[in-house]
Structure 1
Amino acid sequence: MKKLLFVTAAAFTAFAAAGIAAADPVVGSNVDTNQLDNFFAAGNLGQTQYRTDITHPHSVFQNVRFGWRWNGIVGAEVGYAYLGRRKSTGPFSETSVNARAATLGLNAKYNVYDGFFVTAHGGYLRSQRTDTVTNYLTDGSSDHRSWNNGLYGGLGLGYDVTHNVSLALNYDNYRLQYNHPDDRFRDKVNVAAYSASIEYRF
């Protein structure tokens, strides 16, 4: 996670330097000189992988983000990510974890060649994680819910299909925490997300 955040920060620095150094505002087909036209909406669909020792670490990943970029390069974003439900089964019980997060951070998009671009984003997240334990012997279950702060970051590679529409492949990492309501235990886990995305710029 630290490596990902370092790479994301480095990407932001490079994009910002490129934006400041560029005398010509036309960097790629995503750039609009009217700053009010640089708002965007993006959606991701893919798969998550919980980086922990469990029997079923994969699940569905869904993400929606809204943001703005100065000169189409660097800006702010807000979003909501569904990180899926992973399961861990034992001889007498099953534990499932359902996680989602609201995000607030920075984003960058830079055209490198003939409509192809790279992206980076990262920032703060507020996660909601629900742990459900099902006992096979008693056929009963219990839910424990926790809200916590964390960090997220990601990188992507894509192509501008039109002036307003882009497609991309992405890797993201979400740092989640969990505190049991009775303080029985605390848990930290990285969730990797691999996805395809579509972005529309207004």
Structure 2
Amino acid sequence: MNKILLAAALAVVAAAPFAAQADENNNQLDNFFVAGNLGQSNYRLGGVSDKTDVFQNVRFGWRWNGIVGAEIGYAYLGKVKNDFDFASTSAKPRVGQIGVTGKYNFYDNWFVTGHGGYLRSRTTGAVTVGDATASERSWNNGWYAGAGVGYDITRNVALGVNYDNYHIKYGRDGAQEPQTNANVATYSASVEVKF
């Protein structure tokens, strides 16, 4: 955990020079944004593949000079389920995230975006046998990263399409059951509003 927090802190420090070079005539309050994503999650977890769940994400942030900045957010990654003859297992992760973000206009109103950083996941795992269900929650650290392309509809509203990858874990190190790692790929459409 300390290594991930150190990496996130170094990323924010690396972006700080952009703030120092900000144009004093530019209203820096214009660089606050809120973005929402809606799409589909694709779990890659051992032999389980689930591509039918809804992905939702909301992020708040600020970009120095409208290009590089910091963000915080919350994501719902859907629910992965595996059915057997006599039982079923499922996992439903949610994550809080903090990281760096970037947006670059490359032609007229067209832009590319990128972001990544640290996440804290809360995953609810469940086993169902007949009508009986047992569940357990697990809190873990991980990381996320993603990229997108889009178009500025107006000065304050942008639409985009995105790919994100969330690296999450379930269980505890040293517990009787081994810790499980999973990558959750997400494909989504986004709306960003800049204030």
TM-score, scaled relative to structure 1: 0.81
Say what the alpha-carbon RMSD is for the aligned residues: 2.2
| Distance across 2 between alignment mates of 1:24 and 1:96 | 48
- Mapping for residues 60-99 of structure 1, pairs under 5 Å: 60-99=54-93
Residue in structure 2 matched with residue 144 of structure 1 by the alignment: 136
1:173 pairs with 2:165: yes
Residue 108 of structure 1 is aligned with which of 68, 93, 102? 102
Report how far residue 37 of structure 1 moved: 1.5
| Stretches of structure 2 lacking an aligned partner (at least 5 in a row) | 1-10
Supply the distance in 1 between the matched residues of 2:50 and 2:147 (Cα, whole angstroms).
25
Deviation at 1:34, TM superposition (A): 1.2
Q: Which amino acid aligns with 1:81?
A: A
Matches for 1:126-141 after TM superposition, within 5 Å: 126-136=120-130, 139-141=131-133
Q: Deviations over 1:76-131 (max 9, x none)?
A: 00000000011100011001111110000000000000100000000000000011
- 1:51 match: secondary structure: strand
Which whole-Å CA distance do the structure 1 matches of 2:139 and 2:184 have between them? 16
Residues 22 and 64 in structure 2, CA contact (< 8 A), matched pair in contact too: no
Alpha-carbon distance in 2 for matches of 1:197, 1:188 = 27
Match of 1:189 among 177, 182, 190: 182
**CA deviation string 1:41-75 (max 9, x = no partner):** 00000000001222644311000000000010000
Number of aligned residue pairs: 176
Cα displacement string for residues 161-202 of structure 1 (whole angstroms, at most 9, x for unaligned residues) = 000000000000000001169532210000000000000000
SS in 1 for 2:77: strand
What amino acid is the match of 1:40? F
User: Is 1:34 matched with 2:8?
Assistant: no
Distance 1:76 1:56 in 2: 31
Superposition TM-score, scaled by structure 2 size: 0.84
Deviations 1:142-168 (A, max 9, x none): 001100000000000000000000000
Q: Secondary structure at the match of 1:170?
A: strand
**1:141, 1:194 → 2: CA distance?**
31
What is the letter of the counterpart of residue 167 of structure 1? L
Q: Return the letter of the residue paired with 1:34.
A: N
User: Post-superposition, which runs of at least 4 consecutive aligned residues in structure 1 deviate over 4 A?
Assistant: none
Separation in structure 1 between the aligned mates of residue 95 and residue 106 of structure 2, nearest angstrom: 31
